[in-house]
Chains A and B, each alone.
Chain A
């Protein structure tokens, strides 16, 4: 059973470009969570999704950030018009049910030049 997959592992963007981060949950998992880790910090919750539904986006910045988890395909975290402060590691986690252990992917390290 493959773990949580994230791609790309590393992403470099120039200021003003768009970043798309993808997350494929573990097989059988229908709950996806996105977290952001700034340098030398712990992970911070961003958004919690189920298929075709955003359950909790209280940790998402109000502008430029969006997330989706379509019926088919991976979950996408989209950052429009990136700025240097968006440089961070973005982790996706999945669980079979909302109250179960979350399993983390390897993360995507975003660097904004």
Chain B
């Protein structure tokens, strides 16, 4: 079975600090995509960052970067210089070969002023 596990249900950090959200996944596929989605209180699902499994280089998007370790099936998200607007639920997700996205249960992140 293909699964995504987020071991941190909730986290809080001070504004401007760096925070890392953990994610592990399980699959027998070799080529796939990994994502981090942000869901603010508005409930909109916003794509934060995407990683292609065949690329060794870690994806980055401004203050957001990932640490992708394929052998360990680990895909953590690092948020640098955190801002109040980063407060949200963050979902790690994996896209299967047949185009379904499997989501983790999420990490609720609070950025404190």
Q: Which A residues are within 8 Å of any B CB, using their own CB?
A: 31, 33, 35, 40-45, 48, 55-56, 58-59, 89, 91, 93, 95, 98-99, 101-104, 106-107, 109
Which of the candidate stretches B56-64, B70-78, B97-105 sits at the interface with the other chain?
B97-105
Query: Could you tell me if B99 and A48 are in contact, using CB atoms closer than 8 angstroms?
Result: yes
CA distance A58 to B106 in the complex (A): 23
> Could you say which residues of chain A place their CB within 8 Å of the CB of B84?
none
A/B pair count, beta carbons within 8 Å: 59
> Could you say which residues of chain A place their CB within 8 Å of the CB of B104?
42
Across the interface, name the chain A residue whose C-beta is closest to B91.
A42
B44: Cβ under 8 A from any A Cβ: yes
Query: Could you tell me if A33 and B101 are in contact, using CB atoms closer than 8 angstroms?
Result: yes
Across the interface, name the chain B residue whose C-beta is closest to A46.
B100
CA distance A102 to B99 in the complex (A): 9
Query: Could you tell me if B43 and A44 are in contact, using CB atoms closer than 8 angstroms?
Result: no
Find residues 59-113 in chain B having any chain A CB closer than 8 Å to their own CB.
Answer: 91, 93, 95, 98-106
Query: Could you tell me if B98 and A43 are in contact, using CB atoms closer than 8 angstroms?
Result: no
Query: Could you tell me if A45 and B47 are in contact, using CB atoms closer than 8 angstroms?
Result: no
> Could you say which residues of chain B place their CB within 8 Å of the CB of A45?
100-102
Residue A43 contacts which of B42, B46, B99, B103 (CB distance < 8 angstroms)?
A: B103
> Could you say which residues of chain B place their CB within 8 Å of the CB of A55?
99
Residue pairs across A and B with Cβ atoms less than 8 A apart, 15 shown, are A33-B101, A41-B105, A42-B4, A42-B104, A43-B103, A44-B103, A48-B98, A48-B100, A55-B99, A56-B100, A58-B100, A98-B99, A102-B95, A103-B47, A104-B44
CA distance A59 to B98 in the complex (A): 13
CA distance A49 to B9 in the complex (A): 32
Query: Could you tell me if B91 and A91 are in contact, using CB atoms closer than 8 angstroms?
Result: no
Across the interface, name the chain A residue whose C-beta is closest to B9.
A40
B29: shortest Cβ distance to chain A, in Å?
Answer: 13
Of the listed residues A45, A102, A104, A109, the one surrounded by the most CB atoms of chain B closer than 10 A to its CB is A102
B1: shortest Cβ distance to chain A, in Å?
Answer: 13
B46: shortest Cβ distance to chain A, in Å?
Answer: 8
CA distance A91 to B91 in the complex (A): 14
